[in-house]
Structure 1
Amino acid sequence: MKDSREMDSRWVRKKAKAKSGLERTNHTENSTPGAVVLYEQWERSNRLSMMFIKTKVSAGIRGSVDQHKNVWALLKAIDEQFVTSDKALANTLIMRFSTSMLTNVRGVREHIMQMRDIAAQLKTLEVDMSKTFLVHYILNTLPQQYEPFKISYNTHKDKWSINELMTMCVQEKGRLTMELGESAHMAMHGGNKGQSKHKGKGKIPAQLK
């Protein structure tokens, strides 16, 4: 009898919660005590899961999903928040990628690494681009001093990987830096007539031909 009274007591508490509108249940007054027990087990599991999940999400997301009282609805809402966040992040990265330009001869290695990193982040967001496109695009972001180098690449039959592009651009940067240094020296000293012009300007080294 005691067990029966406790079962009935839990059933009454369940009905009170259902009337509050906070829980979803198909139970009626004709629900069996066994069904009530199963429901209460679900209710406890749902409540604990909700508490755990909310401790793991950021405050910004938590504020927009607090109204959910069912763990499955909560997870769906969180998933939708992340989809929205991913779209916003992808848009930001695309803007950074499309506006990144190298404005001087130096810093070409860092510039290429940054562009490669942005492309890798976009790939994780399902915004993919081919390696060939990436190489061509990066070349187009280099300053005017690299123009002969770009022409040499376009006439070169083989395609480069990003690492090969980086290696070749660093070599070209070294050549340009030396050339600019000599030009500055000549400007300071008036220059020398008849000085031989630089050879091999902007050409791809023989080892990659």
Structure 2
Amino acid sequence: MESTSALYASSIIKFNEFNYNEWSEQVEYHLGVQNLDLALMTEKPADLTENNTDEERSFHKKWERSNRLSLKYLRMTVVSEIKTSLPTTEYAREFMRLAKETSQSKAADKSCTRALMSRLTTMKYDGSRSMYEHVTEMSNIAARIRNMGMSVDESFLVKFVINSLPP
């Protein structure tokens, strides 16, 4: 089973924070084919007590196995560069939720960065405020882009500012 899981894991795309939908679809399919998706499909069962039936004990045991192997499988399908940045969890279902949240956050950051970069590169001084305010706004946009992890070289910023001014 271990070699089969490794084979399945190597055949799907690796989660990289930007491809959640495709990755999750493949992961859910492969775990389903291996009959390991119980932990993804159901919440963690309540802890066992002496009053549980044999059926409840059997379900609990199947869920624990599914969760343990699914979690290993999920971690095997994440690119190495982001494994340490994902929050740790003991549950496969929660891992999927956290991966989705991370993906949505990254997509929002990427979209916001793109919008700010577009604004920075297309800004034009229109005379409705002082030139100092115009340059300061462009500088602030560049700082926001830098805070989102993208570099904006000072020489490019100077060129953008100069290009935004009237001839």
TM-score, normalised by the number of residues in structure 1: 0.39
